[in-house]
């Protein structure tokens, strides 16, 4: 504070007080910016100190990566990068002083290309493998489980999904202290060395006692993530819809008819190759149906038709043929596999008889826990489990649906929950049973024949819990 007095020649005087603010030197405090990946939402905020706010930001030399923009007021760099490579630029900040001051800094953002696909296998308990050219597996040198397996996490179901075009995985993430854990959906970035980094986490999922035991799925265009579970705190079943670019704001939801959720509840959602139709199986009270939805470009789902399965039937898994012509369903309660033709409006018409799967592994009947199509789309690869809860033996099989013939069966020492494939090799996780752990099992598929991969099964550090697997 400065006091000033002035007087004139006529002996008149006046007093005044003035404040002079000496601001700290203006400087840009951001020294580096995170890298990005093509197709994945990017966000980073520039920071400055000193001078007089508010600040104004600009690029004076060079340019941001294609697809990114700078907010002049907030300093936020955001958007979706489209091209790989480094971008060097000079950023300038101008303060609100009189006169205004400006300073600059040289920065770089590198957009790294996505790692090669069909090269890594991830298990929902945190293990990760490198896939060799012959399909055999070896542990990745990185530790991707640290990205999502915190001390309070209890990942214990096939709850891992993958983007078909972007280097992103989606998995349930549990936070808090038991018994007050809150599930949320997390997106994980696949780094160039195939390690994983948490990219974003959704708000806590709805439902006061909801079992999110079904993997999230991403449509073929990598536009949206669909998570079956509960849509409200009444535990009403449905599907939550999120964007698939890494950020996870809830975009919408669709309730699935059938009343309050009853396990096994809902199946994973599957899509036609053009992403215009989506299918999910519902099983309230053990009476199942397959629901067909039309899918809009913004990800919204509209119920188009419902195919009711026979009483007492419950579809555990759905799979659509590579050309989008057929949908196969495997039933949990009745050990049935059936193929449907898909009409242009998404409605289903049976294209095969209902085939009862009864492999008699270890002297017990089995049910179908997962299935997928083998190339070129004339065979089905099945994962099976024993129906006897105290004698769980799983198996892998090839089914040529056109002639209704089980060609090969491979019994395994543990239950099989989910299948993952890169088109030539097929993998699943076999649960530990008694004193023996199955681990990850793998098969080569050539000319309609399954051949065990060298070194299979591959051990994993897990307990008596079923885990999902995905191939990136």
Q: Coil, strand or helix: which one is 100?
A: coil
Q: At 3, is the pLDDT very low, low, confident or very high (cuts 50, 70, 90)?
A: confident
As a whole number, the mean pLDDT across the chain is 81
Q: Phi/psi of residue 146, each to 5°? A: -65, -15
- Going by C-beta distance under 8 Å and a sequence separation of 6 or more, which residues neighbour residue 185? 170, 171, 172, 173, 201, 202, 205, 216, 225, 227, 240, 242, 248
Q: At 431, is the pLDDT very low, low, confident or very high (cuts 50, 70, 90)?
A: low
Q: Dig out the tokens for 431 from the structure.
A: 């649960």
Domains of the chain, start order: 27-111 (2.60.40.10), 120-471 (2.130.10.10)
pLDDT at position 461 over 60: no
Which of 46-50, 144-148, 215-219, 450-454 bottoms out in mean pLDDT, i.e. has the lowest?
144-148
Report field, pTM of the whole predicted structure over 0.85: no
Q: Tokens 């199986």 appear where?
A: 281
Burial class (CB in 10 A: 0-12, 13-18, 19+), 10: exposed
Q: In whole angstroms, give the CA distance from residue 226 to residue 216.
A: 6
Using only C-alpha atoms, the chain has a radius of gyration, in whole angstroms, of 28
Residue 34, sorted as left (phi over 0), alpha (psi -120 to 50) or beta, turns out to be: beta
Q: In whole angstroms, give the CA distance from residue 187 to residue 190.
A: 10
* Region 445-461 average pLDDT: 75
Q: Dig out the tokens for 102 from the structure.
A: 């400006």
Strand spans (E) along 63-101: 68-70, 76-79, 85-94
Q: Phi/psi of residue 182, each to 5°? A: -120, 120
| Distance of alpha carbon 434 from the chain centroid | 32
Q: Phi/psi of residue 400, each to 5°? A: -90, 100
pLDDT winner (highest mean) among 29-43, 67-81, 230-244, 401-415: 67-81
Q: What is the pLDDT of residue 258?
A: 64
């Amino acid at each position: 504070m400065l006091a000033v007095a002035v007087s004139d020649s006529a002996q008149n005087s006046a007093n005044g007080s003035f404040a002079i603010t000496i601001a700290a030197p203006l400087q840009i405090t951001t020294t580096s910016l995170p890298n990005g990946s093509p197709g994945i939402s990017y966000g980073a905020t520039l920071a400055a100190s000193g001078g007089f706010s508010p600040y104004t930001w600009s690029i004076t030399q060079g340019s941001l990566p294609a697809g990114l923009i700078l907010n002049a007021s907030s300093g936020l760099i955001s958007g979706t990068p489209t091209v790989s490579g480094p971008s060097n630029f000079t950023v300038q900040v101008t303060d609100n002083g009189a006169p205004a001051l400006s300073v600059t800094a040289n920065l770089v953002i590198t957009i790294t290309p996505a790692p090669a696909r069909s090269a890594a296998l991830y298990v929902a308990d945190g293990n990760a493998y490198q896939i060799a050219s012959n399909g055999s597996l070896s542990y990745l040198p990185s530790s991707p489980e640290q990205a999502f397996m915190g001390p309070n996490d209890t990942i214990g179901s096939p709850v891992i999904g993958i983007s078909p075009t972007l280097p992103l995985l989606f998995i349930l993430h549990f936070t808090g202290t038991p018994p007050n854990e809150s599930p949320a959906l997390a997106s994980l970035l696949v780094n160039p060395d195939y390690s994983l980094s948490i990219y974003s986490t959704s708000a806590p999922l709805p439902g006061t006692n909801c079992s999110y035991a079904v993997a999230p799925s991403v449509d073929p265009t990598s536009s949206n993530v669909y998570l079956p579970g509960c849509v409200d705190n009444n535990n009403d079943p449905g599907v939550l819809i999120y964007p698939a670019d890494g950020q996870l704001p809830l975009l919408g939801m669709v309730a699935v008819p059938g009343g309050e959720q009853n396990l096994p509840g809902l199946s994973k959602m599957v899509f036609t190759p053009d992403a215009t139709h989506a299918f999910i199986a519902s099983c309230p009270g053990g009476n199942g149906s397959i629901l067909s939805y039309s899918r809009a470009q913004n990800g919204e789902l509209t119920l188009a038709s419902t195919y009711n399965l026979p009483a007492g039937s419950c579809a555990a898994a759905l799979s659509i043929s590579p050309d989008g012509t057929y949908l196969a369903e495997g039933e949990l309660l009745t050990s049935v596999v059936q193929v449907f033709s898909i009409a242009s409006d998404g409605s289903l018409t049976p294209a095969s008889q209902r085939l009862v799967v009864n492999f008699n592994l270890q002297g017990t009947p089995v049910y179908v826990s997962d299935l997928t199509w083998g190339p070129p789309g004339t065979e089905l690869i099945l994962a099976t489990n024993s129906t006897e809860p105290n004698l769980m033996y799983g198996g892998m099989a090839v089914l040529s649906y056109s002639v209704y013939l089980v060609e090969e069966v491979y019994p395994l020492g543990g239950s099989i929950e989910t299948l993952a494939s890169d088109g030539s090799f097929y993998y699943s996780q076999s649960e530990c049973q008694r004193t023996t752990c199955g681990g990850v099992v793998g098969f080569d598929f050539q000319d309609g024949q399954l051949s065990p991969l060298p070194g299979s099964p591959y051990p994993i550090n897990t307990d008596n819990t079923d885990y999902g697997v995905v191939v990136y």
